[in-house]
Amino acid sequence: MENVKRPTIRDVAAAAGVSQTTVSDALSGKGRLSDETRKKVHDAATKLDYQPDAIARGMRGQGLGLVGISIALENEANPSAVWYWISIASHASEAILNAGFALVQLPHNATLLTKLRVPLDGVIVVDPLENDEVIRHFRRKKIELVTIGRDIKRPQGPWLDDDYEGGMTDLLDQTVVPGERISVVTFGLHKSYIADALRGLDSWASASGSPVQQLHCDQLDDHVVDAVLHKTMAWHAQVIVAQNGRIATRLLQRLKALGIRVPEMVRLVSVADSPELQFLSPAITAMQPHPAELGAMATKVLFDRLNGIGTEERKLLPMDIFIRSSAPLCRVPVPD
Amino acid sequence: MENVKRPTIRDVAAAAGVSQTTVSDALSGKGRLSDETRKKVHDAATKLDYQPDAIARGMRGQGLGLVGISIALENEANPSAVWYWISIASHASEAILNAGFALVQLPHNATLLTKLRVPLDGVIVVDPLENDEVIRHFRRKKIELVTIGRDIKRPQGPWLDDDYEGGMTDLLDQTVVPGERISVVTFGLHKSYIADALRGLDSWASASGSPVQQLHCDQLDDHVVDAVLHKTMAWHAQVIVAQNGRIATRLLQRLKALGIRVPEMVRLVSVADSPELQFLSPAITAMQPHPAELGAMATKVLFDRLNGIGTEERKLLPMDIFIRSSAPLCRVPVPD
DNA sequence: TTGAAAGCGCTAACAG
DNA sequence: CTGTTAGCGCTTTCAA
């Protein structure tokens, strides 16, 4: 609530001895004024500390300069997911502010979104679910939308992501010998990154003759995790691929508790890296996502679209592989 | 950018056969209309799917319904800080949305804030620094402000926090025998929570005759951390108090690497808990902050102030103590 | 190269 | 109880 009575365009016009139109044009850089007039206006504006009122400006159809961001975070205490989210949001935020826009934090919940009164110029949705209700909400309102990851049931519109499919084949190339037995432990299947990673894994495994066992963990308590691990061991898995850092961390804890040594008895790999994985012992091999870059790129794509510049609809970032001791390098990749 | 041409108040007025004012009053619930008229207007509005334009409404001085939130996060990869921040933000966000407001994510950086064009109705600043520039920025603009934690150099305005001072004396009561030697390891001293915790520690120590060694760590690499630990050992510390979860985690790693067993050879305590501390081995004893509650309360205080309801300026939440194996219970507290 | 006037969608003030 | 009028601060015609 700006309690101070701010100067209006009229005050500046009076001070500079010109019309409101002239002030408006001078300050928004329209090329129809003499340099002299322009300077006169700028001086007056500076002296009065004039800042155009964004609301009034918005009424003229410019929009307010608000970009929303929404992420499907199922659990606030999941450090991997939270790190990912914060990295995206903080980098998007900086780009957005530099454009004079503001970042509105949105819940991933269509009912709550209904209560939102302010008009958004655009929205970034991170890690959408299947038939994502937030995406549907904004599409219905015809608000410009960019997603990081995609709705696997409705993969429309512009989206960006790390290349989990390609990353997975690279990762397996470097850490698994063809023919070795691979267990995959998933937790949720509704996000696109896991579908992509599984696709990469399946194609690598069928090309190289590795059997794959897919296991699903619906909870992360000791009991459930131990049951999953028993299955992998009974199946004689040599490598366990965990869906994300959170699961990898839990699996490692329970492997240790059960006396199963990593990497000697079984190797462990995480699809998505997050900072804590390097501090575990053994540190966990993983593919690195690029939340900071994705946040900045999503903002750029969004702004381009708001400005009517059609940009490529999809972009995949190649992933880096961090080989750590939970699954050491086992083959040097051969250049073709 | 809402590309659809939305119905205006005029359309509703025409459809209902009344004046614009009547529509405005009917929809904003002013008590001067007959129920019959009111219903007629509501029906017309529903049929047209009319939503009042927030921007135009804002022009009449209602404000836009935007609350900003800014946190001083020195490192995105610090899981404890990030967990704290996310918990506050997500709970504040929900309360804010339910009030029809939106949460704007702000950087902790006055220069970037200068570029912000949209007018905020209020701001929540989390963990301000000394002479916090963000606080000064918003105070200068006369924007309603609530802080979680306080600027220790300028502790003005309404603020909320966990009671680190009281929590610390409770923690020491339960885990330290009077007379034992306590090392405190700090990392930054500019935030109020650490000042409060140190005050609690000092008063407890002087009341119970425990010597205190205060050590400062300006970086968290192995070399610096090891040097600090050598000092604590040379001083024969029996308990190490770490400023937060991040530092506690690093200290524990290095203690293990140096072959110093916890809690047998030295006990370790963290001022602020975060989820990962319970998964370390040994799990680390700590005081639990209440970010979710603080986020919700800050929102409430802010709204009360926006509505002109003066509320208590300060509030401290009592902290819970989580006794874990890094510093087990050593005395049962005696009820007086 | 500049200015005057119209009006964005809404609500507050003032009439009836 | 309801309607008419004025204007929030700005940008956009349109005219000079």
Count of C-beta atoms within a 10 Å radius of residue B135: 22
Tell whether the model's pLDDT for residue B334 goes beyond 80. Answer: no
Q: Is the pLDDT confidence value at B1 over 60?
A: no
The average confidence (pLDDT) of chain A is 91
Indicate the pLDDT class of residue B335, thresholds 50, 70 and 90: low
Angstrom distance (rounded) from CA A103 to CA B267: 44
Instruction: Residue B279: list chain A partners with CB under 8 A.
Output: 249, 253
Q: Is the pLDDT of residue A64 over 60?
A: yes
Residue contact B76–A83, C-beta within 8 A: yes
- Terminal CA-to-CA distance of chain A, rounded, Å? 64
* Max mean pLDDT range (A21-30, B23-32, B172-181): B172-181
Instruction: Give residue B29's pLDDT.
Output: 80
Query: pLDDT tens across B276-315, in order?
Result: 898 888 999 999 999 999 999 999 999 988 887 777 678 9
**Positive or negative: CA dihedral B247, B249, B253, B259:** positive
A59 touches strand C (CB under 7 A): yes
pLDDT in tens, A210-253: 999 999 999 899 999 999 999 999 999 999 999 999 999 999 99
What torsion, rounded to 10 degrees, do the Cα atoms A321, A322, A326, A328 define? 70
B57 closest CA partner among B37, B27, B34: B27
Q: Would you say residue A109 has pLDDT above 70?
A: yes
A21 touches strand C (CB under 7 A): yes
Cβ(A212)–Cβ(A182) below 8 Å? yes
As a whole number, mean pLDDT of residues A118-144 equals 92
For residue B336, the model assigns a pLDDT of 56
- Token pair belonging to A105: 């934090």
pLDDT of B75 above 90: no
Q: How far is CA A251 from CA A227, A283, A288, in A?
A: 11, 13, 19
Give which of A8, A78, A86, A255 to mutate to test B binding, by max B Cβ within 10 Å. A86
pTM of the complete model = 0.88
Which nucleotide in the DNA or RNA is closest to residue B10, CA to C1'? C9
Which nucleotides on chain D have any atom < 7 A from a protein Cβ?
1-13
Q: Which residue is nearest to nucleotide D4 (CA to C1')?
A: B19
The residue type at A195: A
Handedness of CA A102, B1, A191, A219 (dihedral sign): positive
Query: Residue A177 has what pLDDT?
Result: 95
Q: Per-residue confidence at A258, pLDDT binned at 50, 70, 90?
A: very high
CB-contacted nucleotides of strand C (7 Å):
1-13
